[in-house]
A and B are shown apart, each in its own frame.
Chain A
Amino acid sequence: GAGVSQSPSNKVTEKGKDVELRCDPISGHTALYWYRQRLGQGLEFLIYFQGNSAPDKSGLPSDRFSAERTGESVSTLTIQRTQQEDSAVYLCASSLVSSGIAKNIQYFGAGTRLSVL
């Protein structure tokens, strides 16, 4: 596609429910990132996928958070047993290659705004 696509754009859920967020990266981009943006805060890195390598999960805040990506395509971020503090905008980004400056030029989706009641 022309850009990074995320769905849904907004999600309202009840505390304790599971949610699944989807990211379609730019076609051909090997690297995919998930970030969380809480109100009034910068972006926090969550997880990174690069091709078929094992993902870097060092930013995931708890074991309630998980993400999958099949090859170089769609990724899903799952939050189990949601808590109110999970309310945030979840942003996905993709980049073209894994080395040099190009790896750092990340293209972002519009995000999914998650509200946990």
Chain B
Amino acid sequence: AQSVTQLGSHVSVSEGALVLLRCNYSSSVPPYLFWYVQYPNQGLQLLLKYTSAATLVKGINGFEAEFKKSETSFHLTKPSAHMSDAAEYFCAVSEDYGGSQGNLIFGKGTKLSVKP
């Protein structure tokens, strides 16, 4: 079964500092990988997705993630944190590659705090 591990339930950075949120996955087939962001009292919003094309994926709000098959990782980064980036971030993998099912397997989430 596929699974996702997010290292660090809470990450705190200063405004303007590098953001690095870690995600490792396990999958027996090439996966689809996703990062979602959840602002307080809102649903999840897709940040970016990996679809087996380019290994470096650019998303919205200046975020990007790099797929590293050898490390089974898909870490999320942003060069310079902004106060508005404070939210909870979820990494997810698609359970059934190429099949009819498409439910996502989520990590437990990482809450990002940004200090002024």
Contact = CB atoms under 8 A, between A and B. Distances in A.
Q: Are both chains from one complex?
A: yes
Interface of A: 4, 31, 33, 35, 40-45, 48, 50, 53, 56, 59, 91, 93, 95, 98-99, 101, 103-111
Interface string B75-116: 000000000000000101011000011111111110000000
Contacts of B90: 42-43
A98 B100 contact: yes
Given A31-B102, A42-B106, A101 B44 contact: no
B61 interface: no
A31 B51 CA distance: 19
Nearest to A92: B43
- By Cβ-Cβ distance, the 3 closest A-B pairs, closest first, are A108-B43, A42-B106, A103-B102
A111 B41 CA distance: 8
Given A40-B9, A42-B90, A95 B102 contact: yes
A48 B108 contact: no
Contacts of B104: 33, 43, 45, 104, 106
Contacts, number: 67
Given A42-B108, A104-B32, A104-B49, A98 B102 contact: yes
Contact of B46 (A33, A35, A105, A109): A105
A110 B32 contact: no
Given A42-B90, A101-B51, A56 B103 contact: yes
